[in-house]
Chains A and B, each alone.
Chain A
Amino acid sequence: DVQLQESGPGLVKPSQSLSLTCTVTGYSITSDYAWNWIRQFPGNKLEWMGYINYSGSTSYNPSLKSRISITRDTSKNQFFLQLNSVTTEDTATYYCAREEYEYYFDYWGQGTTLTVSS
């Protein structure tokens, strides 16, 4: 069974960088598909942030393009989100999810809450 689990610091100060990890079990991230980060803001709005696919190619939401980086560690079957120069507007619950070929998300993690505050 495919499972994804996010982990992160919980609290980050403004202007710092946030780093989150998504650990995938039950499927190799190098076998197929795209591995995404999605966030949900207070108030419930969902935003697609970007992905790294099975071959290592990335795609990012242009609204974040200058601040975001998604990388991976294939030996640990993990992928990572780095977001630079965070502000309070980056406070959200962050989800990782697998994207199928027909551009939908079939497996999601439980989410990790990140608060940006001094």
Chain B
Amino acid sequence: DVVVTQTPLSLPVSFGDQVSISCRSSQSLANSYGNTYLSWYLHKPGQSPQLLIYGISNRFSGVPDRFSGSGSGTDFILKISTIKPEDLGMYYCLQGTHQPWTFGGGTKLEIK
């Protein structure tokens, strides 16, 4: 299975900060057609996970533009600018290139 490693595990922030979360895979997530299936999710307590970014950098419908994704191959970044209270929670990346799909271990965005 592809191992997906997220860092950091915890990210203390102040509102208005800009932060980055890293997601690294044990093998390239580009398939033979050059497509890369890497997505990002936010999971708030008591809610279902919500899709933020798909295909490395495409924002899902309704996701604010302060969320952005980048990367290629084995290294990917989720950047959040101007953090707001509603951004707090657990962030996960998911690789959908190699079966079985695998998630990163999560990054907890919390207030300082």
Contacts and interface: CB of A to CB of B under 8 A. Distances in A.
Interface of A: 44-48, 59, 61-63, 95, 99-100, 102-106, 108-111
Interface residues of B, number: 25
Interface of B: 1, 35, 37, 39, 41, 47-51, 54-55, 60, 90, 92, 94, 96-97, 99-103, 105-106
B53 to A, nearest CB: 9
Contact of A104 (B35, B51, B99, B102): B51
Contacts of B60: 106
Contacts of B97: 103
Given A102-B55, A104-B39, A44 B106 contact: yes
Main secondary structure of the interface of B (DSSP, over half): loop
Contact of A48 (B48, B90, B100, B105): B100
Contacts of A105: 39, 41, 49, 51, 94
Given A103-B37, A104-B37, A110 B47 contact: yes
B52 to A, nearest CB: 10
Contacts of A61: 100
